Each structure stands twice: as C-alpha cells, then as structure tokens.
Structure 1
Amino acid sequence: MNNVHKEPVRVTKADAERAADAMAKAFQDYVMFRYFYPDEEKRRKLIYPLLASAVYYGIRYGEVYAPSPAFEGAAVWVPSGNCPLTLGRI
C-alpha cells in the first residue's frame, strides 16, 4: 500500500457510512460472525447495521479514525469508565 497520507483521518458524520462499509467488509468473514450467521447473505445484511451503530456511537462519544481518505478500514475508540453503552445513548 502506497499511503502518502501519514496521519489517520478522523471520521465525521459525513464519512460514517464509508467507515461502516469498510468495517463491514473487513469483518464479513470474521469467525464469530460466521459462526452466528453462517448464511453469507444474511450475515452481510446484519453486519453493516451493527458496525454502523458502532461508528456513530464512536463519533458521538469517542473518536473514529480511518487510515487515509480512501477509507481502507476504520477504528472506533471509546473512552473507558465514564461512557456506558445504554439504549438511550445508542
């Protein structure tokens, strides 16, 4: 990978769908998701909303970064301790 963009890109709400899409593609064949959702089509439909909610939660209560403006992937960072995951916060 020839990444001339040296710093990660902070993901905003405007970029959330791209970040969620990158994460969904990355986790499509993750062993835990394959175990719980063996049907590939069903797994594809369920993973995106799950990871999109993680991205939006991270944008609101933490930080989300992509390695470059091309969104090859994304990482969601949420501080520990004072950031409970509740239905009201989702």
Structure 2
Amino acid sequence: MVMKQNEILRLSQDYDINQAVEVLARAFKNDSLYKYLIPEEEKRHKILPYFFKFRIRYVMLYGETYATSPRMEGLAIWIPYKNINISSWRVLKCGGVSLFLKAGKDVMGRLSNLEEYASQIHKKHADFPHWHLSPIAVDPTFQGKGFARTLLNNMLERIDKEKVPCFLETQSENNVSIYKRYGFKVVEEGKIPNTNIIHWAMMRDAIE
C-alpha cells in the first residue's frame, strides 16, 4: 500500500517491499561503497537485496520511505534524528540475523568498519534534531529524467517548513556537486579507514 503526499508516494508498513528492494539493488550494484563491502560481483548481486531489505524494514518502522510513483522509478529513505542509532533490539526486529547469515563475517566486518567511521562523523556534525537522507536512488533505467530532483524537492520543501536541517553522506564527487545545488555544504571529507574511498558528509542548514 502506498500513501500519496503531494507528488510522491510514501510507502506504508503493509507495503510489499520487494519492488523497492530490487530498485535499490540495481541502483547500487556497481557503487564503489558496495564494491568495497562485497568485492565479488556475483556475491554482491546476491547479497545486496538482503542489505536493502533490512534497510527498508528499519525505515518502515523508524523513518519514512518515498517513491516517485507505483512504478518505483526512484526512492528516497529519510530517518529522523531520534532513530538514527540502531539498537541491537531494532537490528533483530528488522531482520539483522538473516542479513548476517547471508552476508557472512567478512562482509559484516567491513560494514561495521564503515558504520563506526560514518557514525562518528555524523555525531560530530549533526548531534541535534535533523533529517538524515540515507539513501536516495533511481533505477538505472530511469536515471537522468529528474526523478531524484522530484524526491528531493518534495521532502526539502517539507523540511524547510519544519525549520530543521538535514544531513547526508556520499562517496561520489559528482553527487557532491549535485547536492550543493540543493543547499547542502560539505562539512567533512575523508577516507573510509583501510580503503581509498572518499567519504563526504554534507549538511543543509535549517531555513530561519
């Protein structure tokens, strides 16, 4: 089931998430971050759906997920500040055991390395009420057609009315320039430990 909010659709908790999972897996299958987490291509294609199923389950309970339409051209996942920290109970509730079993110790170790690094930066720059965009994606078939812009503009308009900032992370220099057009500023740039992957943390200030 989807609930319409202006031009985009919010996915509700009783929605079949498989289509959304497939869109995210296709969008990130060649992403540098997921290549680091799961270096083997065949294994990555098998495991990514489990990553994103966990993510969407979590956000269904503790955040908000939006799609451009029932066709799922694009998706944006937003988490409020109060629910950014994932407790052990929440991990279990959202299928974390299944993810661990499917991904394996090595992949989960690299994920832990990433999350520890990212969470430190996040807390350093945004330890106050805000929205976290994590992630936004467009199905490769529909990229370059303005779907990401639709998702961003809709939520940012609401966030401006709420007068709160928002935070995001990216490992793409091209994305940095795109997000700057929407008012985001780089607050920290660095390398993920034990990798050559550059990690940008970006913040968009609240509208006064």
Same fold (TM over 0.5): yes
Q: Aligned partners of 2:20, 2:40: CA distance in 1, in Å?
A: 24
Structure number having the greater strand percentage: 2
The aligned counterpart of 2:56 is 55
The residue aligned with 1:41 is: 42
Q: Deviations over 1:22-44 (max 9, x none)?
A: 11110101011123322211001
Measured in 2, the distance between the counterparts of 1:65 and 1:19 equals 10
Partner of 1:10: 10
The answer for unaligned runs of 5 or more in structure 1 is 1-5
Partner of 2:27: 26
The CA distance in 2 between the partners of 1:35 and 1:63, in whole Å, is 27
Larger Cα-atom Rg: 2
Amino acid in structure 2 at the alignment position of 1:62: G
Counterparts of 2:64 and 2:37, CA distance in 1: 28
Q: Runs of 5+ in structure 2 lacking a partner?
A: 1-5, 92-208
Q: 1:87 and 1:74 mapped to 2: Cα distance?
A: 26
Equivalent residue number for residue 88 of structure 1: 89
**How many residues are treated as equivalent by the alignment?**
84
Root-mean-square deviation (Å): 1.5
Alpha-carbon distance in structure 2 between the residues aligned to 1:57 and 1:36: 20
